[in-house]
Amino acid sequence: MLSACSASGVTKPAETTETAEASAIPENTSGLTSPNHFNAATLSGVGYSDAYFDDHDVTIINIWSTTCPPCIAEMPELTEFMHGLPDNVQLITWCLDGEYYTERAESIIGDAGYDGVTLTSGDGDLETLLYELMYTPTTLFVDCDGNIIGDALIGSPRNFAAAYTELTNNALKAIGKEEMP
């Protein structure tokens, strides 16, 4: 049996094993390791793991650093976008150098008004993913099991809200969920 990604916890039986396996994991065209299994530290000092993906159909992971001007410049738009997300979609950030430059990272997100989760380090799949990244910002869209859906967004788009809305809707559509307005 497969469990659908939803807060309701409703389990749906698979029609056939072959069909279920083919549709269970969305296509990852990014070539990056999906963050299926990890434990991480956050900027606020609270632990975070892949288990926190369970309550959302899609998790958006914005990966940035304190030395990346485009990352810093997009943070207010990222914050505004986050506050408009439906309940089944969450946005978190991962500051690659936040473990070492905590005060700078806190200042950047504070200035932007960002009040969400910011990862600063991690093990398992996050550690593997760290060594695969080539650029910041990089944004991933993952399902409730941490599987990357589609392509990673590399760089900061010109029309931030439209690009993020389109990619979020693509991710929702890929897992059979209702799109954002």
The model's pTM is 0.86
Spatial distance between the Cα atoms of 77 and 81, rounded to a whole number of angstroms? 6
Spatial distance between the Cα atoms of 167 and 136, rounded to a whole number of angstroms? 17
What stretch of H or E contains 3?
strand 2-3
Q: Are 125 and 35 in contact (CB under 8 A)?
A: yes
DSSP 3-state assignment of 24? helix
Q: Tokens at residue 84, please?
A: 């408009």
Q: Tokens at residue 42, please?
A: 């956050």
Q: What pLDDT does 27 receive? A: 86
Could you read off the pLDDT tens digit of each residue along the chain, which spans 181 residues? 222 333 333 333 333 334 344 456 778 888 899 999 999 999 999 999 999 999 999 999 999 999 999 999 999 999 999 999 999 999 999 999 999 999 999 999 999 999 999 999 999 999 999 999 999 999 999 999 999 999 899 999 999 999 999 999 999 999 999 999 8
Q: What pLDDT does 24 receive? A: 60
